[in-house]
Amino acid sequence: MKRLLTLTLTACALPLVSLSLGAQTAPLRLAARFQMPASVQGRFDHLAADVARDRLFLAAESAHEVLVFNLRTGHYERAIAGIQIPHAIFVRDDRNRIYITDGGAGVLQIFNGTTYAHIASVPLKVDADSIGYDPTSGDLYIDNGGGDAHESFSMFSAVNTVTGRRVLNMKINGDTLEAMALARHSPLIYINNRALGKISVVNRHTHALVANWPVTLAKGNVAMALDEAHHRLFVGCRSGAIVVFDTRTGKELQALTIPRGIDDLIYDAASGRLYATCPDGGGAVAVYQEQSPDHYVLLGDVASAPGGKNEVLVPALHRLYVTIPPGAHGRGAVYAYAVN
């Protein structure tokens, strides 16, 4: 898609956004940077927001801890230590619990939400990674096992967040599972089966694998978001595309061009926007507007920084947070973008 102009954020000497044809305002504006401690280096993974307690959590893989920031001020508050390789984070304020997948130990780590004291470790397999939550049952679904466990299949497990007990452990062919999306009005869970280049569909009531939909319009399917109201599944692929599926038929409809290397994808139903964090090259957040279930317009590729691959959207604050690893620009940070 043709771009008309490039704006420059002079305060940080970074190109802010390349706007698409017809766009009047940049979809995102860099509002703040939350600085990480200088000692925190290496790789990072998912973010999670706790709006009720003004907390932002960041999985610092190489530091073996989860960083905690004040969600509004950006002040670094503390770290949750003792996690070999933290990946995904889920917070239940009503249970006063924090759940963190630990890919190194192969467990789900459970912490007290106030004191951060460790409560329990629920056994899984190594490379416990992506999660999806069912608010009706209280079950937290987790990808684990696969290639890091030296197996040709992966495990798809669930831990009940009330009892802290594992309630599901099923095998799925393929040694690499990635992000998932849970339907609210049906029992289906859509899972990126990167190893097979397919979408594995699981019925969470019967615990049965009901379909495998091939992803042919792009390669490296890792990220995912769901527009359940319009029967659209968005599959982020590292080759540089978001593949749009019809969930009623399992068929691909089109591929939306994005920068390469996507790791996270968010669909905001209220605004009809898609946010794709793409770390390759200079790093960017691709923002698409859903004008109809079959028509999407690129609003712009908003510059982040090299390696900026993870994000969380907080609609209540009109903010999108993106992790930026340490680099030539200085220490690691979380960029807080105002959503326009």
CATH no. of 86-214:
2.130.10.10
Helix (H) or strand (E) holding 296: strand 295-303
Structure tokens at 20: 């698409």
Mean pLDDT of 171-179: 98
Q: How far is CA 219 from the centre of its chain?
A: 18
Q: Enter the tokens of residue 267.
A: 């669909």
Instruction: Report residue 331 as tokens.
Output: 């220490």
d(CA 64, CA 185): 37
- Give dist(CA 319, CA 262) in Å, integer: 20
pTM metric for this prediction? 0.93
Determine the Cα–Cα distance for residues 84 and 65; give it in Å rounded to an integer: 8
pLDDT, residue 41, reads 96
Query: So where are the chain's domains?
Result: 1-81+220-245+254-340, 86-214
Tokens of 127: 């490379």
| β-strand partners of 8 | 15
pLDDT tens by residue, 186-231: 999 999 999 999 999 999 999 999 999 999 999 999 999 999 999 9
Euclidean distance between the first and final Cα of the chain, in Å?
21
Q: Would you tell me how many other CB atoms lie within 10 Å of the CB of residue 150?
A: 9
pLDDT tens-digit series, residues 255-270: 999 999 999 999 999 9
